[in-house]
Structure 1
Amino acid sequence: MTAAVAGAVDAVAAELRKVLTLPATLGALVVAVLGPVALAALTASQNPRGSAAEAALAAEPLVMVGAIVLGVVAVSSEYGGGRQIASTFAAMPRRPAVLAAKAAVVAVLVAAAAAAAFPAALLAARLVAGPGPDADGVLGRAVGGGVYAVLTALIALAITVFARSGVVPLVVLVANGSVVSVSFLLYQVTPLARYLPDLAGMRMVAGEDRLAIDDALAPVAGGLVMAAWTAALLAVAAVVLVRRDA
Structure 2
Amino acid sequence: MLETFSTFHPVLQALIAGLFTWSCTIVGSAFVFLFKEINQKFLDIMNGFAAGVMIAASFWSLLAPAITNAEESGYGVWSFFPAAVGFLVGGFFLRLIDVVIPHLHLNEPEENKEGPQTKASKNLLLFLAITIHNIPEGLSVGVAFGAIAAGVANGDAFLSAVGLALGIGIQNIPEGSALSMPIRAAGTSRWRAFNIGQLSAIVEPIAAVIGAIAVISISAILPYALAFAAGAMIFVVVEELIPESQTNGNKDSATLALMGGFTIMMILDVALG
TM-score normalised according to structure 2 size: 0.33
TM-score normalised according to structure 1 size: 0.36
State the structure with bigger RCO (CA 8 A, min sep 6), 1 or 2. 2
